[in-house]
């Protein structure tokens, strides 16, 4: 995980330079998140589409908005590049678009953001770690172009409350809106309705716990009714069971049902 400059901190949730040998060709799952994703592959274009085959294409810079289903990343056994997570405010500040305009989309970032069009060429021939400063300079230039951008304070509070798992009605009352008005504003900001955004946020938290705690404990900690509810949500949002994902991501763990933290 690379350090993020303070000027970009409210817009970039993560920045990872990766160079991973996966052993054999296959398909990696791109899971839903409350962050938008910007991927800049190096060496080979990223072959990615939705799990049902829609929007599949090989791109040198891919941006995806918030979504409530898995993407499928096809690889030859080796992946190199830089991946960033962007906040919904980051969509406006760095990409010049509201996050809602990108919801459910997989697009060529250079076509969406002219300021990023030459970035793949500037990264050509570099190692991923060496490419990080190049990407940060490009994003800083985009920020200078589009300017500081934050959601309305009450929308930001609402998203924070939904992320924490508060009931939609309670969040609406807290920020002083009707439930209908809250739904409109959250959808305008993220492209997802409040309940769908909350589902993705809860799923995202569960992903950080899988492989470290038993599934029943993960379900309880994340606010699912029970382990079966957790499994249903994973089947819907990830296209697989939690156990399958753990085995794919952490093959050294032998017992995902009662997993303990890796040593």
pLDDT in tens, 8-32: 999 999 999 999 998 899 999 999 9
Query: Which pLDDT score is estimated for 148?
Result: 79
**How does the average pLDDT of the chain come out, rounded?**
92
Percent of the chain with pLDDT over 90: 88
Q: For residue 150, name the pLDDT band (cuts at 50, 70, 90).
A: confident
Q: Can you tell me the mean pLDDT for 141-156?
A: 88
The pLDDT of residue 256 is above 80: no
- 3.40.1350, 3.10.20, 2.160.20, 1.10.10: CATH of 151-204: 1.10.10
Q: For residue 251, name the pLDDT band (cuts at 50, 70, 90).
A: low
The third-level CATH classification (topology) of the domain covering 6-146 is Jelly Rolls (2.60.120)
| Cα distances (angstroms) measured from residue 153 to each of 116, 138, 182, 213 | 29, 28, 13, 35
The pLDDT of residue 259 is above 50: no
pLDDT in tens, 58-67: 999 999 999 9
pTM comes to 0.91
Domain residue ranges of the chain, discontinuous segments joined by +: 6-146, 151-204, 210-263
Q: Can you tell me the mean pLDDT for 163-171?
A: 93
Q: Can you tell me the mean pLDDT for 173-198?
A: 95
């Amino acid at each position: 995980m690379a350090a993020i400059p303070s000027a970009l901190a409210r817009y970039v949730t993560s920045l990872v330079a990766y160079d991973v040998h996966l052993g054999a060709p296959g398909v990696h799952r791109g899971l839903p998140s409350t962050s938008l994703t910007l991927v800049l592959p190096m060496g080979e274009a990223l072959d990615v589409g939705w799990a049902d085959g829609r929007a599949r294409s090989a791109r040198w810079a891919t941006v995806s908005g918030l979504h409530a289903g898995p993407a499928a990343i096809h690889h030859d056994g080796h992946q190199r590049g830089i991946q960033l997570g962007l906040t919904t405010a980051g969509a406006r500040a760095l990409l010049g678009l509201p996050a809602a305009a990108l919801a459910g989309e997989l697009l060529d970032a250079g076509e969406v953001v002219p300021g990023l069009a030459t970035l793949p060429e500037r990264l050509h021939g570099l190692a991923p770690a060496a490419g990080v400063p190049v990407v940060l300079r490009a994003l800083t230039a985009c920020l200078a172009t589009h300017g500081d951008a934050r959601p309305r304070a009450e929308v930001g509070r609402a998203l924070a409350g939904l992320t924490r798992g508060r009931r939609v009605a309670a969040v609406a009352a807290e920020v002083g809106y009707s439930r209908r008005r809250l739904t409109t504003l959250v959808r305008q900001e993220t492209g997802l309705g409040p309940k769908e955004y909350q589902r993705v946020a809860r799923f995202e938290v569960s992903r950080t716990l899988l492989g470290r705690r038993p599934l029943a404990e993960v379900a309880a900690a994340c606010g699912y009714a029970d382990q079966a509810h957790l499994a249903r949500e994973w089947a819907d949002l990830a296209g697989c069971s939690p156990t399958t994902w753990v085995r794919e991501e952490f093959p050294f763990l032998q017992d995902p049902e009662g997993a303990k933290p890796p040593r």
